[in-house]
Structure 1
Amino acid sequence: MLPTTNPNPDFTLTRASHVVMTVTDLEKSRDFYRDVIGLVVTKETDEAVYLRGLEEAAHHSLVLERSDLAQARRIGLRVRTAADILAAERFFRSANIPFERLERDHQGPTLRFRDPVGTLVELTSEMDVVDRKMQNFDEFRAGAPQRIDHYQVVTYDVQKATDFWTGLGMRMAEYTATDGTDELWGTWLEVKGNTHDLVFTNGRGPRLHHFAYTVPDATSLIHAADVAGALGFGNEIDRGPGRHGLSNALFLYLRDPDQHRIELFNTHYQFIDLETPPIRWDVTDPQRAQLWGLPASNRWFFEASEFSDEKVLDPQLTASPQTLEQYLALH
């Protein structure tokens, strides 16, 4: 069933903000995201590394934390002001949603909660401001990622997740369904005026499938692939280059040393005008996943990063996606 976006939510979300991942070798992971991906290291401690894209003025958009177990610790979203943090507290309290006020280094007022399908989320209203490097072209390396853009979460109940987040003001730009119905298999939700800040897809979850950064152009994707190959990470290219039907993005997916997945992508379109309906894709249409290019592998469809201390549940809908292995067997 298609959701109805709440036009007047209790607090205002503005964008995907930051993601926190635990890694088993902090120095190796730092080197991967700095040298293979091209992110900027803002700060290092013995237990954490803070990184950002070249155009970002916020202190960090990726935090790597040392741990014995590699997991997704939380995804972050920005709210407009500190008053929105207070409003979020009131909303969660009235909705009986457990939450916690936290002190985070380099962040303003911050709340942590889990959504109804177990996604671990952190809201913050501000961060320390640092210098943008978007015109420091001499410092561009690998894919030259500019800014964090979105997350994709695998969930056992796409409808439940979508209803919750559209209730907080997110709009659905695109979705997948089947058999002529609007039974939701995947939803692309946004607040910042392009196709997605938060994506939910059907599968064993909650798990973080990937987090994504924009790059300047298509050439940057190819250069990122070349750099990955030159530095010995060619086998960690998980998918692409290719173009999605959904969102119209050129993409390249890579896996880090702990097998967390990051997407580098370029191009998606505006989704601002309120009268614009979401685009429906049938799950049987292979062009929804790749307008051109080979299908994704088994591991792209079925592997993802588990959230800390969250039980993974089987999906309510059973899917059999066409994988690269199946395609090659038939051809």
Structure 2
Amino acid sequence: MLPITEPNPPFRITRASHVSLFVTDLAASRDFYRDVIGLVVTEETDDTVYFRGLEEAAHHSLTLRRTDGAPFADRVGFRVETDEDIDRAEHWFRANDVRHRRVDVAHQGPTIQFTDGVGTHMEITSSMEVVERKMQRFDEFRAGAPQRLDHFQVVTHDVQAATDWWSQLGMRMSEYTAKDGTEELWGSWMEVKGNTHDLVFTNGRGPRLHHFAYTVPDAVKLIDAADVAGALGFGEEIDRGPGRHGISNALFLYLRDPDQHRIELFTTHYQFMDLETPPIRWDVSDPRRAQLWGMPASARWFFEASPFPEEPVNEPLLSATPGTLEDYLQIH
């Protein structure tokens, strides 16, 4: 069933903003995101590294922290418009029994951490420390030259529940994948900033973070990132691509970091602002939705993801599964 977006949400989310991960070897992960991906190191301490894209003025969009245990995804973050939106969010979370807490986070303004209706670990903040944009420091561009964090994809056991939960907070569906011949949601692409997605939910064992994504200037930078990954010994960590998505129409490249967290580099999507524009529907069996040309993604791309700490992983409610590269090779 397609969701109804709340036109006047209880607080105003403006965009996907930041993500934090726990990693086992901080120096190795720093080198990967700086040298293979091309992010800017904003600040580094003994146990934390902060990164940003080249055009970002916010202090960080990616935070890595060291863990002595297994690696995991900590939280994904969104920006809200004002401090008052933080207050309104706190009131709404309390009234709706949403697990949440106010926290102090370095370099961020007022911040609330919470768990959404399907167990995803989330965070909202209204501001960050401002740093220098480097979007015209072309002499410092390296590898993919990521410009800004754009969106997240989360694996969930219940795409319908996730979609409904976020629709009440103003998220609007731009495209979706459904079980063939039905409107049973397998995947939901949702946005607040006027392009095709800030937050994606896909069917599977969840909640787990599938990937986070940065825009790059053009297709050449995708090739540059792949070349640099190969030259630095990370060629086998190219998880998928280069290719072109049917959903969103973007060119893409996925890579895995030393702890197997997944990052996407992509050319940005089309505009999705006019309220009368309906979402685009895809059958889950249609391989063009995920890959407009070329072979489908591997099983590890579809089924591997980063868990959230101390959050139970649930089996998916929907039985439909997409075709994988392994399936394709068996047939051909």
TM-score under structure 2 length normalisation:
0.99
**Given that residues 21 and 72 in structure 2 are in contact (C-alpha distance below 8 angstroms), is that contact kept between their aligned partners in structure 1?**
yes
Give the structure 2 partner of residue 113 of structure 1: 114
Cα distance between partner residues in 2 of 1:179 and 1:15: 31
Cα distance between partner residues in 2 of 1:37 and 1:16: 19
Aligned letter for 2:136?
Q
**Given that residues 155 and 206 in structure 2 are in contact (C-alpha distance below 8 angstroms), is that contact kept between their aligned partners in structure 1?**
yes
Give the structure 1 partner of residue 303 of structure 2: 302
Give the structure 2 partner of residue 62 of structure 1: 62
> Judging changes above 3 Å, is the alpha-carbon distance between structure 1 residues 179 and 293 closer, same or farther for their aligned structure 2 residues?
closer
Superposition deviation, residue 329 in structure 1:
2.1
**Deviation readout 1:229-274 (Å, 9 max, x if unpaired):** 0000000000000001001010000000000000000031000011
Give the structure 2 partner of residue 159 of structure 1: 160
Superposition deviation, residue 10 in structure 1:
0.7
Give the structure 2 partner of residue 183 of structure 1: 184
Aligned letter for 1:73?
D
Cα distance between partner residues in 2 of 1:292 and 1:2: 28
Tell me if 1:258 matches 2:259: yes
Q: How does 1:202-281 map to 2 (within 5 A)?
A: 202-281=203-282
Q: How does 1:11-90 map to 2 (within 5 A)?
A: 11-68=11-68, 69-90=70-91
Superposition deviation, residue 278 in structure 1:
0.5
Cα distance between partner residues in 1 of 2:208 and 2:179: 23
Find the residue that maps to 1:58 and give its secondary structure: coil
Superposition deviation, residue 148 in structure 1:
0.1
Give the structure 1 partner of residue 144 of structure 2: 143
* Runs of 5+ unmatched residues, structure 2: none
Give the structure 2 partner of residue 327 of structure 1: 328
The alignment of Structure 1 onto Structure 2 pairs a total of residues equal to: 331
Cα distance between partner residues in 1 of 2:181 and 2:2: 13
Cα distance between partner residues in 2 of 1:121 and 1:32: 25
Cα distance between partner residues in 2 of 1:54 and 1:192: 19
Give the structure 1 partner of residue 6 of structure 2: 6
Superposition deviation, residue 17 in structure 1:
0.4
Give the structure 2 partner of residue 317 of structure 1: 318
Cα distance between partner residues in 2 of 1:205 and 1:136: 40
Cα distance between partner residues in 1 of 2:228 and 2:271: 31
Aligned letter for 2:58?
A
**Given that residues 284 and 320 in structure 2 are in contact (C-alpha distance below 8 angstroms), is that contact kept between their aligned partners in structure 1?**
no
**Given that residues 240 and 293 in structure 1 are in contact (C-alpha distance below 8 angstroms), is that contact kept between their aligned partners in structure 2?**
no
Q: How does 1:85-104 map to 2 (within 5 A)?
A: 85-104=86-105
Superposition deviation, residue 153 in structure 1:
0.1
Find the residue that maps to 1:246 and give its secondary structure: coil
Find the residue that maps to 2:134 and give its secondary structure: coil
Structure 1 window deviating more from structure 2 (97-106 vs 178-187): it is 178-187
Cα distance between partner residues in 2 of 1:28 and 1:178: 41
Cα distance between partner residues in 1 of 2:13 and 2:123: 12
Aligned letter for 1:2?
L
**Given that residues 241 and 293 in structure 1 are in contact (C-alpha distance below 8 angstroms), is that contact kept between their aligned partners in structure 2?**
no
Aligned letter for 1:225?
A
Give the structure 2 partner of residue 289 of structure 1: 290
Cα distance between partner residues in 1 of 2:217 and 2:120: 30
**Given that residues 55 and 134 in structure 1 are in contact (C-alpha distance below 8 angstroms), is that contact kept between their aligned partners in structure 2?**
yes
Cα distance between partner residues in 2 of 1:181 and 1:295: 23
**Given that residues 21 and 63 in structure 2 are in contact (C-alpha distance below 8 angstroms), is that contact kept between their aligned partners in structure 1?**
yes
Cα distance between partner residues in 1 of 2:184 and 2:321: 16
Aligned letter for 1:283?
V
* Runs of 5+ unmatched residues, structure 1: none
**Given that residues 13 and 169 in structure 1 are in contact (C-alpha distance below 8 angstroms), is that contact kept between their aligned partners in structure 2?**
yes
Structure 1 window deviating more from structure 2 (111-120 vs 311-320): it is 311-320
Structure 1 window deviating more from structure 2 (288-297 vs 176-185): it is 176-185
Find the residue that maps to 2:185 and give its secondary structure: coil
Superposition deviation, residue 181 in structure 1:
2.0
Moved over 6 A (4+): none
Superposition deviation, residue 179 in structure 1:
3.2
Aligned letter for 2:11?
F
**Given that residues 188 and 198 in structure 1 are in contact (C-alpha distance below 8 angstroms), is that contact kept between their aligned partners in structure 2?**
yes
